[in-house]
């Protein structure tokens, strides 16, 4: 028993090191980072965070990201709910093929869609808007949401639906008042993963925006190339990008294990 | 409206054929629902499964042919690389074979 | 327990279809259009047939990128799968320690991918990074931007750090699904730890593992963000994988035709992998549903 937990502890310790190092650096000044090598900040400073929260080129990145991620999550989950219900409850012509096709969209590298998205959004004048990124991210998030929700819905006994219909519930009323509360957890998990994958996506978000909707992920990479050595601010920005995910996972923490447990993410 | 998609006739024809094929399969399936059966493919398939496997195979055949075309042309000492219509006919034959026997 | 046939279910799927049609079907049709034309400007386009496909199939750089990609994906599997299983086996089964271990192990999964790149960029620098300076202190030459092999290994290490948790979580979920009765029977028989793993645990988690293998293979096949931030594909082309190469062609050089042909070939490879994954899951799903 002891030997086995040793492996776990060593692994967790090692895997924490890179994160710890970033957090450590985010509290140092650039001068300290470059001059001395210390395990803890000698001159603890909030200055880097202050830079990010007061400089609009930094904090607007967070706001932009949050806007398109939220739009995307709302559309994805709303569209996916009825579809997941259809897949979990009924057999219909071509259902398996449709499901497979959705899956391929989840798995296709965003790079494949890059060119046409660029042309499409240029044509309809959506370039550099939050909506463009939100719509582009639908391509992998809608299938994902359908997939997760279908798993949760299949776990609910079908007798519940049948009883409700016999009691004279219409489909929309049954769905919103009875069914939705039952799969709350599933909706939470689906929303979480949509949020995650939209939040971390870089390629499309970077290509489809330039100024007005520039996401934080793009701001970070551009700072690397331009300023080059502003490690401290970069580390602080990195720490801040982890926080929204951490907050969201806090709300769905009981259900995450189940989401993963379905082997569906 | 659709100018950004840079349509060309062959591609349009291709997608119309695909749409017709899907429509045809739907009608066929409604008239005579297919059953799961086991052919030479390693998994039991329905008609629709065989169509998708067949189309994927056909795509790979055409791609391989295009990739190897100039080598084939050179080894047979042809003036031009062989036409893609050869692989197209070949792939359609494979598709038909998979549909019937798969 | 068969699901009732109901063609009206298509109406429920309609919203998804519209979303995905807009963001997937139309773009894909456009890619096909681009792939058969030489696009000089939006007004001047020339039909070139399969020429781009032929040139992409002959592209040596592409072959090299594909080879690198396959070697990378296989290495990822070779490291992450055994490590993930070992971790899952060593995680406590229940109690607060189980939740704590779960969250701690899963943490890297939740970090945005570009930040993963940033973290490792900082972590591996020999002047300011912990790992970099540790290796330097051992007296070894190390530079992930200068040496091709080291850059490659660094990207691999980063991927292992980032994604082994997924394998561990999947394997862990599989292990928890084994009924206690199996372990009790094994204990009565006096089975060794190894025998329990070999004859009870491994067969039971085989299905989940297969999914983990395919997911990791496919995901590593489209890896872009992390190496882009860490090494930018360099030094030379040492860490330029497929997505990166495609993006260079599409956005960097704006070669619409070849990039589109390349996209389609990439898409076909993914379709095949997906098909295998999907059928595996179907096969797995069927007995599971019968149990209910």
Cβ distance of B11 and C39 shorter than 8 Å: no
In percent, the amount of chain A with pLDDT more than 90 equals 9
Q: pLDDT-derived band of residue C284, with 50, 70 and 90 as boundaries? A: low
Map out the domains of chain C as residue ranges.
70-238
Contact A137, A198 (CB under 8 A): yes
Out of A38-42, A60-64, A77-81, C197-201, pick the least confident: A38-42
CA distance A14 to A19: 10
Position A2 scores a pLDDT of 61
Three-class secondary structure of residue B24 per DSSP: helix
Q: Average per-residue pLDDT in chain A?
A: 82
Name which of A94, A116, A123 is nearest B48 (Cβ-Cβ).
Answer: A94
CA distance C282 to A145: 19
The number of C-alpha atoms within 13 Å of A21 and in the hemisphere containing its C-beta is 26
Name which of C33, C39, C58 is nearest B7 (Cβ-Cβ).
Answer: C33
- pLDDT score of C242 more than 60: yes
In angstroms, the separation between the Cα of residue B80 and the nearest Cα of chain A is 31
pLDDT digits (tens, 9 = 90+) for A181-203: 888 888 888 888 888 888 888 88
Cβ distance of A116 and B5 shorter than 8 Å: yes
Chain B residues lying within 8 Å of A100, measured CB to CB: 52
- pLDDT score of A248 more than 60: yes
Q: C46 pairs with which residues across the strands?
A: C38
Annotate C153-186 with b (16+ C-beta within 10 A) or e (fewer). Answer: ebbbbbbbbbbbbbbbbbbbbbbeeeeeeeeeeb
| A96 touching chain B per CB within 8 A | yes
Of A199, A196, A238, whose CA–CA distance to A215 is shortest? A199
C39 phi-psi bin (left φ>0, alpha ψ -120 to 50, beta other): beta
- Give residue for tokens 């601010």: A233
Name which of C108, C128, C274 is nearest A231 (Cβ-Cβ).
Answer: C128
Q: pLDDT-derived band of residue A256, with 50, 70 and 90 as boundaries? A: low
In angstroms, the separation between the Cα of residue C283 and the nearest Cα of chain A is 13
Position C80 scores a pLDDT of 92
Highest mean pLDDT among A161-175, C33-47, C122-136: A161-175
pLDDT digits (tens, 9 = 90+) for B17-68: 999 999 999 898 888 887 888 888 888 888 888 988 999 999 999 888 888 8
| B58 touching chain C per CB within 8 A | no
| B3 touching chain C per CB within 8 A | yes
Position C160 scores a pLDDT of 93
Probe site for chain C from B7, B8, B15 (most C CB atoms < 10 A): B8
- Give residue for tokens 């931007």: C145
Report, as an integer, the average pLDDT of C20-27: 84
Report, as an integer, the average pLDDT of C171-195: 84
Q: Token digits for A97? A: 């093929």
Name which of B5, B26, B49 is nearest A93 (Cβ-Cβ).
Answer: B26
C236 phi-psi bin (left φ>0, alpha ψ -120 to 50, beta other): left
DSSP of C166-224, one letter per residue?
HHHHHHHHHHHTS-HHHHHHHHHTT--HHHHIIIIIHHHHHHHHHHHHHHHHHHHHT--
Residue A6 falls inside a structural domain: no
| C269 touching chain A per CB within 8 A | no
Position A217 scores a pLDDT of 78
Contact C170, C214 (CB under 8 A): no
CA distance C25 to B62: 22
In angstroms, the separation between the Cα of residue A123 and the nearest Cα of chain B is 7
CATH class of C70-238: mainly alpha
Name which of A94, A100, A119 is nearest B4 (Cβ-Cβ).
Answer: A119
Probe site for chain B from A123, A124, A125 (most B CB atoms < 10 A): A123
Cβ distance of C274 and A103 shorter than 8 Å: yes
| B20 touching chain C per CB within 8 A | no
In angstroms, the separation between the Cα of residue B4 and the nearest Cα of chain A is 6
Q: Average per-residue pLDDT in chain C?
A: 82
In angstroms, the separation between the Cα of residue B5 and the nearest Cα of chain C is 5
| C90 touching chain B per CB within 8 A | no
CATH number at residue A118: 1.10.3720.10
CA distance B60 to A259: 36
Position A252 scores a pLDDT of 64
Position A249 scores a pLDDT of 65
Q: What angle (nearest 5°) sits at the alpha carbon of residue C228, between those of residues C222 and C229?
A: 130
Report, as an integer, the average pLDDT of A20-45: 81
The count of structural domains within chain A is: 1
In percent, the amount of chain C with pLDDT more than 70 equals 96
Q: Token digits for C176? A: 């928890």
pLDDT digits (tens, 9 = 90+) for A87-107: 988 888 888 888 888 888 888
Domain that holds residue A253: 55-261
Chain C residues lying within 8 Å of B63, measured CB to CB: 53, 57, 265, 268
pLDDT digits (tens, 9 = 90+) for B72-83: 777 777 777 778
Cβ distance of C268 and B7 shorter than 8 Å: no
Contact C68, C240 (CB under 8 A): yes
Q: pLDDT-derived band of residue A259, with 50, 70 and 90 as boundaries? A: low
CA distance C131 to C73: 24
Contact C238, C255 (CB under 8 A): no
In angstroms, the separation between the Cα of residue A131 and the nearest Cα of chain B is 19
Q: A160 pairs with which residues across the strands?
A: none
pLDDT digits (tens, 9 = 90+) for A116-162: 888 888 888 888 889 989 999 999 899 888 888 888 888 888 888 88
Of A95, A75, A77, A78, whose CA–CA distance to A86 is shortest? A95
Q: How many CB atoms lie within 10 A of CB A170?
A: 9
- Give residue for tokens 């046409």: A116
Closest-CA residue of chain C to B65: C54
Of C208, C173, C181, C222, whose CA–CA distance to C283 is shortest? C208
Q: Token digits for C237? A: 């082309």
- On the 0-12 / 13-18 / 19+ scale of CB atoms within 10 A, C17 is middle
CA distance A184 to C56: 48
Which residues of chain C from 42 to 81 reach within 8 Å of chain A, CB to CB?
A: none
Which residues of chain C from 54 to 83 reach within 8 Å of chain B, CB to CB?
A: 54, 57-58
Chain C residues lying within 8 Å of B14, measured CB to CB: 32
Map out the domains of chain B as residue ranges.
1-33, 35-102
Out of A11-15, A28-32, A163-167, pick the least confident: A28-32
How many residues would you count in chain C?
Answer: 292
Position A83 scores a pLDDT of 93
In angstroms, the separation between the Cα of residue C40 and the nearest Cα of chain B is 12
| C279 touching chain B per CB within 8 A | yes
Position C286 scores a pLDDT of 46
Residue A15 falls inside a structural domain: no
| B48 touching chain A per CB within 8 A | yes
| C266 touching chain A per CB within 8 A | yes
Out of A108-112, A222-226, C203-207, C282-286, pick the least confident: A222-226
- pLDDT score of B16 more than 90: yes
Which residues of chain C from 2 to 21 reach within 8 Å of chain A, CB to CB?
A: 2-7, 9-10, 12-13, 15-16, 18-20
Chain C residues lying within 8 Å of A79, measured CB to CB: 15-16, 18-19
In angstroms, the separation between the Cα of residue C119 and the nearest Cα of chain A is 6
Q: pLDDT-derived band of residue A225, with 50, 70 and 90 as boundaries? A: very low
- pLDDT score of A226 more than 50: no
Closest-CA residue of chain A to C115: A238
Position C81 scores a pLDDT of 92
Position C98 scores a pLDDT of 77
- pLDDT score of C138 more than 90: no
Which of the pair, C128 or A3, is modelled with greater confidence? C128
Q: Token digits for C9? A: 């279910």
CA distance A173 to B47: 37
Name which of C33, C58, C265 is nearest B6 (Cβ-Cβ).
Answer: C33
Of A244, A231, A243, A182, whose CA–CA distance to A41 is shortest? A231
């Amino acid at each position: 028993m002891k030997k086995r937990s040793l492996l776990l502890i060593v692994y967790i310790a090692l895997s924490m090191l890179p994160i710890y190092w970033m957090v450590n650096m985010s509290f140092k000044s650039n001068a300290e980072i470059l001059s001395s090598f210390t395990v803890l900040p000698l001159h603890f400073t909030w200055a880097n965070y202050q830079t990010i929260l007061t400089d609009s080129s930094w904090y607007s990145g967070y706001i932009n990201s949050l806007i398109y991620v939220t739009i995307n999550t709302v559309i994805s989950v709303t569209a996916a709910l009825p579809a997941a219900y259809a897949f979990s409850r009924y057999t219909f012509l071509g259902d398996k093929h449709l499901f497979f096709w959705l899956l391929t969209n989840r798995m296709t590298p965003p790079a494949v869609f890059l060119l046409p998205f660029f042309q499409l959004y240029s044509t309809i004048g959506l370039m550099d808007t939050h909506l463009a990124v939100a719509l582009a991210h639908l391509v992998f998030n809608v299938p994902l949401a359908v997939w997760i929700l279908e798993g949760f819905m299949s776990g609910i006994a079908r007798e519940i639906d049948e009883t409700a219909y016999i009691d004279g519930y219409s489909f929309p009323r049954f769905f919103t008042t009875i069914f939705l509360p039952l799969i709350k957890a599933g909706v939470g998990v689906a929303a979480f993963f949509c949020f995650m994958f939209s939040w971390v996506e870089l390629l499309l978000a970077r290509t489809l925006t330039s100024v007005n909707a520039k996401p934080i992920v793009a701001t970070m990479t551009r700072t690397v190339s331009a300023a080059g050595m502003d490690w401290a601010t970069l580390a602080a920005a990195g720490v801040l990008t982890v926080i929204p995910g951490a907050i969201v996972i806090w709300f769905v923490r009981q259900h995450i294990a189940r989401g993963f447990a379905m082997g569906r993410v | 409206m659709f100018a950004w998609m840079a349509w060309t006739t062959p591609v349009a024809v291709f997608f119309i054929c695909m749409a017709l094929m899907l429509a045809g399969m739907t009608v066929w399936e409604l008239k005579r629902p297919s059953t799961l059966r086991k052919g030479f493919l390693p998994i039991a398939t329905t008609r629709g499964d065989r169509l998708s496997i067949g189309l994927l195979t056909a795509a790979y055949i055409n791609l391989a042919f295009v990739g190897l075309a100039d080598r084939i042309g050179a080894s047979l000492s042809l003036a031009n690389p062989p036409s893609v219509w050869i692989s197209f006919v070949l792939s359609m034959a494979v598709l038909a074979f998979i549909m019937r026997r798969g | 327990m068969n699901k009732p046939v109901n063609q009206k279910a298509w109406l429920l799927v309609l919203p998804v279809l519209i979303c995905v049609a807009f963001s997937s079907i139309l773009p894909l049709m456009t890619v096909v259009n681009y792939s058969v034309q030489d696009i000089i400007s939006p007004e001047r386009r020339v039909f070139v047939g399969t020429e781009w496909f032929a040139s992409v199939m002959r592209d040596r750089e592409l072959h090299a990128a594909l080879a690198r990609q396959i070697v990378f994906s296989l290495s990822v599997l070779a490291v992450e799968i055994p490590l993930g299983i070992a971790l899952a086996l060593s995680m406590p089964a229940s109690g607060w320690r189980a939740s704590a271990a779960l969250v701690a192990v899963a943490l890297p999964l939740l970090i945005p991918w570009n930040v993963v790149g940033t973290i490792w960029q900082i972590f591996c620098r020999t002047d300011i990074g912990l790992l970099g300076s540790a290796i330097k202190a051992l007296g070894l030459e190390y530079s992930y931007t200068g040496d091709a092999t080291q850059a490659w290994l660094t990207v691999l290490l980063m991927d292992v750090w980032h994604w082994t948790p997924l394998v561990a979580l999947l394997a862990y979920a599989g292990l928890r699904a084994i009924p206690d009765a199996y372990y009790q029977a094994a204990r009565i028989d006096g089975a060794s730890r190894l025998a329990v793993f070999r004859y009870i645990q491994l067969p039971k988690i085989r299905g989940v593992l297969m999914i983990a293998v395919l997911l990791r293979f496919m995901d590593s096949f489209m890896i872009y963000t992390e190496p882009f931030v860490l090494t930018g594909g360099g030094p030379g082309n040492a860490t330029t994988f497929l997505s990166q190469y495609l993006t260079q062609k599409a956005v960097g050089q704006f070669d619409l035709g070849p990039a589109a042909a390349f996209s389609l070939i990439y898409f076909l490879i993914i379709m095949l992998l997906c098909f295998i994954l999907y059928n595996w899951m179907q096969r797995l799903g069927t007995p599971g549903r019968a149990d209910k």
